[in-house]
Structure 1
């Protein structure tokens, strides 16, 4: 069998990221004594030297499959304790199958958290988009943690000029932290930083008294999209070590356009 991947390419240029993307599988994470089951989407890439034509794609998939098997077979091995640990485990398996200098594993999934509604105190299950990346360089390993949270804003300008009446809109904020792999940061803490920075959180379950409480909170806490972005990065800088990126989009209710605020540290 010809190993065409090992041939010398016609154009000799190093490639920094070559791999597979949009690969879905199952993962089990044992986080703080609770077992979570995810169906994440993976992206796995490695660097390819200038003298090598390509990579062996099947070996990337094998590295995930074998790592998942370790997590599922609980009678032999424990589940991984975090998504970033899972990502690093994939990279370590990949090192044995496909030598490289640089590798990345990105995991996208949804995290479901229990929230208590503001007035009726009922439990509402809320879903948050999260992404975890593990980046291995020759001299270091870093991780990237990213959460996306839905909230809402009430416009302070309209409120100040309209006898207390204003327009409200849904807002979506993303917080990303890039840091050393060994730095302990919980996705739940990142979600809390973002969610607490809106005029009000949003909920899947709301009884009438809860709706009233949410509306009252929004009107008592009006914010521009700029205010939300500033509050998120202010809180994040106090709580997390690393490079921080914040992006907030306000889906305007009275305009045909939307509004964005973005900053980093």
Structure 2
């Protein structure tokens, strides 16, 4: 018989809203629209802890992740989890059976690799995008948070207007976050497209000379401040998605020692 020290009363009787595990790396397969993606995600899973208990049973959280992943491996491909948020909800459903709580959160960070076509040579380029999905259950209500981080570039319109058409260019990073009801279907690919299409030009892993020329021309034909990029992302996201929207754009300045930022909520 083991002693369940977690069930004892703590000396300091205060509730803790988030207790659990973080930085747990594993492997997951997702069947998104008939195509199976393999991810190496990082999990953070937490629940609330009352003032009456000393601790939570951490192994039960890890068991919930393992069981949800094992189910997907053992089942037929068509029964694999259909999205990262579907996997997150599966973990929460297992926690419900193992650990008493009022609030639970599952956060999954990973990299989504998408096939893109280069501008002129039409080569296939595999592009990485950092994504994060959060599932939050509180008193029976389930919400999800979807985040994407996209690298693009900008050409400064101010320098262009004051330097006979010449300007400085820089890499920019756009982040889009949407908090919405779990039932709302919002593909991460669509969020990535909203951000990527708002830069002066997209960036590519693979570029032949003709593609490089096309990217540079596009940047000069489409100069933007970081503020322009943030506003465009926000406008497109409000038109396309339902939920609370957060936009953050950072420009890694090429002629300054600092970076610049634009941020907005809707």
TM-score (norm 2): 0.98
Change (3 A) 1:264 1:119: same
Q: After TM superposition, which residue ranges in structure 1, 4 or more long, deviate above 6 angstroms?
A: none
- Note the alpha carbon deviations across 1:69-103, whole angstroms, 9 max, x for none: 00111349821000000000000001111111100
What's the counterpart of residue 233 of structure 1?
234
What's the counterpart of residue 45 of structure 2?
44
Partner-residue secondary structure (3-state), 1:209: helix
Structure 2 Cα separation of the partners of residues 139 and 62 of structure 1: 22
What's the counterpart of residue 179 of structure 1?
180
- 1:45-194 to structure 2, matched below 5 A, reads 45-75=46-76, 78-194=79-195
Instruction: Indicate conservation of the 8 Å contact 2:31/2:78, yes or no.
Output: no
The Cα shift of 1:20 comes to: 0.2
Change (3 A) 1:139 1:63: closer
Partner-residue secondary structure (3-state), 1:192: helix
Structure 1 Cα separation of the partners of residues 80 and 213 of structure 2: 42
Structure 2 Cα separation of the partners of residues 236 and 211 of structure 1: 29
- Superposition RMSD in Å: 1.0
Change (3 A) 1:76 1:222: closer
What's the counterpart of residue 255 of structure 2?
254
The Cα shift of 1:127 comes to: 0.5
The Cα shift of 1:31 comes to: 0.4
What stretches of structure 2 of length at least 5 have no aligned partner? none
What stretches of structure 1 of length at least 5 have no aligned partner? none
Instruction: Indicate conservation of the 8 Å contact 1:108/1:131, yes or no.
Output: yes
The Cα shift of 1:171 comes to: 0.2
Instruction: Indicate conservation of the 8 Å contact 2:115/2:125, yes or no.
Output: yes
Structure 1 Cα separation of the partners of residues 77 and 125 of structure 2: 35
Structure 2 Cα separation of the partners of residues 72 and 148 of structure 1: 28
Instruction: Indicate conservation of the 8 Å contact 1:47/1:101, yes or no.
Output: yes
The Cα shift of 1:148 comes to: 0.1
Partner-residue secondary structure (3-state), 1:250: strand
What's the counterpart of residue 36 of structure 2?
35
Structure 1 Cα separation of the partners of residues 242 and 11 of structure 2: 44
Partner-residue secondary structure (3-state), 1:124: strand
- Note the alpha carbon deviations across 1:109-145, whole angstroms, 9 max, x for none: 0101111111111111101000000000104100000
The Cα shift of 1:13 comes to: 1.2
Structure 2 Cα separation of the partners of residues 71 and 139 of structure 1: 25
Task: State the number of aligned residues.
Answer: 265
